[in-house]
Amino acid sequence: MTVREALRYAEETLRSAGVPDARLDAEYLLAGVLDAPRLLVVASGETPLTSQRTEQFFDLVARRAGREPLQYILGSQPFMGCSFCVDERVLIPRQDTEVLCEQALLCAPEQGAVLDLCTGSGALAVVIKKALPDLRVYGSDISAGALCLARRNAAENGVSVEFREGDLFAPFAGMRFSMIVSNPPYIPTGDLSSLQEEVKREPSLALDGGADGLSFYRRIASQAPGYLERDGVLLLEIGCDQAEAVGGLLTAAGFSAPRVVRDLAGRDRVVTARLSGEEGHV
Ligand code: GLN
C-alpha cells in the first residue's frame, strides 16, 4: 500500500467516525509512525509502506476513530514553541492558554518567585522559567500523575522548576510569591457531559470547576493575598463568560482594578489583578 492509499483509507475511517479534521489527523498520525515531517509524508504519496508500518498506522487510526485525542496518541503537544509530553493524566495545553502565558511574561518581575497553581503538564511554569531564567518557578497540582509529566517536561525542556504535590497553596505554607498564575478547572459540572468527545477523555479533575464553574476562583481569590508579596500580581485564565464574576471575586478579596485580556478570537480569556494596599493579608 502506498502513502497516498493509506492516507485516503485513514481519512475515510476518521471521517465516518465523526472526527473533525479527518485528513489532517490522518497525516499527523502517519507522520508520527514514519517519524518524518507531515509535509514530507504528504509529498511522498507514491512511496510504498511496509506491512509493519501500515499495521502500526492503522492501529493509531483506530484509536483516533475511537475519539482518543490526537495529542495523546502522538504523545506531545507544542505550547509557546516548546514541546510538552502529554497523556491522559493531564489536560492538553491549549492555544488559548498562550494568552495567559504571554501576559505572565509581560507582568513578570525580573527576579523573585513565581507560582503556577494547577500546573498539569507544567507548560506554563516551564515556559516562564525558560523565558525568564532568573525567576524561581514553582508549580503545584493535586494530581501525582500530572506532576510526573510536569517534571519530565521541565527536564526535557532543560529547565529547573520545583513541583510540589497538593491542593492549590497547601504545599507552600509560609511562602510569598511576586506572581501567581493559574489555569484552574473552570467548566461548570453540568456542562461536562456535553463537551466534545475528545475533551471528555481529558481528566475531569482538570476541567470540573464545580456547580457554577467558579469554585477554584473563589478559593484562589480568597487565599492568594496570603501568598503574594506587596504589589504581587495574580493572572488567571477564565472561561469566556466568567470575566465579570472572577473580577468581582478578586475585587472583594482586596485586589485592585482587575484587567480582562481577550484571546485571538476576541473572547475574554484572562483576568489579571494586583494586590492593593501595603501588605498582603491572610
Ligand atoms: N479551555 C478548556 C476547555 O474549554 C478548559 C480548561 C480549564 O478548565 N481550565 O476545554
Q: Give residue-wise pLDDT tens across range 47-97.
A: 999 999 999 999 999 999 999 999 999 999 999 999 999 999 999 999 999
**Residues in the chain with pLDDT values less than 70:** 277-282
C-alpha cell at 195: 463537551
Q: Which of 212, 182, 207, 197 is nearest to 100 (CA)?
A: 182
What is the domain-level CATH number for residue 127?
3.40.50.150
Q: Is residue 24 part of a domain?
A: yes
Residues 59, 140 share a domain: no
- Minimal-distance CA residue to ligand 1 atom 7: 185
Global model pTM greater than 0.85:
yes
Residue 202 alpha carbon, nearest atom of ligand 1: 10
- Give the range of the structural domain holding residue 129, as residue numbers without chain letter: 90-275
Residues 102, 52 share a domain: no
Q: Is residue 191 part of a domain?
A: yes
Q: Is residue 280 part of a domain?
A: no
Residues 96, 7 share a domain: no
Strand partners, 122: none
| Ligand 1 centroid – CA 202 distance (Å) | 10
| Measured CA angle at 114 (ends 109, 119), to 5 deg | 140
| Ligand 1 centroid – CA 168 distance (Å) | 17
Cα 160 to Cα 127, 129, 235, 251, distances in angstroms: 11, 8, 22, 34
Cα 72 to Cα 28, 83, 89, 184, 281, distances in angstroms: 12, 13, 10, 21, 42
| Ligand 1 centroid – CA 244 distance (Å) | 18
Q: What is the pLDDT of residue 280?
A: 44
Q: Is residue 74 part of a domain?
A: no
| Ligand 1 centroid – CA 239 distance (Å) | 7
- Burial zone of 264 (CB within 10 Å; 0-12 exposed, 13-18 middle, 19+ buried): exposed
Residues 209, 261 share a domain: yes
- Cβ of 199 below 6 Å from ligand 1: yes
| 205 vs 32: CA distance, rounded Å | 29
Choosing from 15, 50, 66, the residue where a domain stops is 66
Cα 39 to Cα 4, 24, 34, 138, distances in angstroms: 13, 11, 12, 38
Q: What is the pLDDT of residue 276?
A: 78
Residues 27, 157 share a domain: no
Q: Is residue 83 part of a domain?
A: no
Q: Is residue 194 part of a domain?
A: yes
Residues 33, 103 share a domain: no
Residues 47, 169 share a domain: no
pLDDT tens digit sequence for 161-193? 999 999 999 999 999 999 999 999 999 999 999
Q: Is residue 80 part of a domain?
A: no
C-alpha cell at 120: 498539569
Q: What is the pLDDT of residue 110?
A: 86
| Positions of E strands within the chain | 76-79, 82-85, 112-117, 135-141, 162-165, 177-182, 228-237, 255-262, 268-275
Cα 121 to Cα 77, 118, 163, 189, 268, distances in angstroms: 10, 9, 11, 22, 23
- Cβ of 24 below 6 Å from ligand 1: no
Q: What is the pLDDT of residue 257?
A: 87
Residues 132, 245 share a domain: yes
- Minimal-distance CA residue to ligand 1 atom 10: 199
Residues 123, 41 share a domain: no
- Cβ of 216 below 6 Å from ligand 1: no
| Ligand 1 centroid – CA 207 distance (Å) | 6
Q: Is residue 118 part of a domain?
A: yes
Residues 164, 62 share a domain: no
- Cβ of 242 below 6 Å from ligand 1: no
Residues 151, 28 share a domain: no
Q: What is the pLDDT of residue 282?
A: 44
Residues 160, 249 share a domain: yes
Q: What is the pLDDT of residue 277?
A: 66
What is the domain-level CATH number for residue 9?
1.10.8.10
Residue 118 alpha carbon, nearest atom of ligand 1: 9
| 217 vs 219: CA distance, rounded Å | 5
The number of distinct structural domains making up the chain is 2
